[in-house]
Amino acid sequence: MAYDFIDITLSKSIQTLMGNAGGLPINADTSQITDPQVKQFNQLFAQLVASDGIGFYPDWPVSGYYNDLVSATQELMNGTKTPSQFLDEIAGPYNAAVKK
């Protein structure tokens, strides 16, 4: 049953549904995602993955940095922070720790 669940969950049709619900699927048909922002988000993520530009288990350089990163990423995805503001926010704790 677990195999079937994983197979169904990762199917292109279900992943495309997840994308249309605003998620970040790993196996969607991005041409079928209708929301332009979600479509762009998914396409940019696919580019990052394809270029090996993302790390899934980074070595956190600062205590509590994971929370800082998650919070800033959520604001970026919500559109309440610009990419520049996001970079400034995640650089702040790191730069402060390096100066110590």
Q: For residues 46 and 61, state if they share a domain.
A: no
Q: For residues 39 and 73, state if they share a domain.
A: no
Model confidence band, residue 13 (pLDDT cutoffs 50, 70, 90): very high
Which residues fall within 8 angstroms of residue 29, CB to CB, at 6 or more apart?
A: 12, 15, 16
Model confidence band, residue 24 (pLDDT cutoffs 50, 70, 90): confident
User: According to the 3-state scheme, what is the secondary structure of 3-39?
Assistant: HHHHHHHCCHHHHHHHHHCCCCCCCCCHHHCCCHHHH
Model confidence band, residue 56 (pLDDT cutoffs 50, 70, 90): low
- Structural domain including 1 reads 1-53
Q: For residues 76 and 46, state if they share a domain.
A: no
Q: For residues 64 and 37, state if they share a domain.
A: no
Domains contained in the chain, number: 2
pLDDT value for 78 = 93
Q: For residues 2 and 47, state if they share a domain.
A: yes
Choose between 90 and 30: higher pLDDT. 90
Q: Which amino acid makes up residue 1?
A: M
Q: For residues 30 and 71, state if they share a domain.
A: no
Q: For residues 30 and 66, state if they share a domain.
A: no
Provide the 10 A C-beta neighbour count for residue 24.
Answer: 14
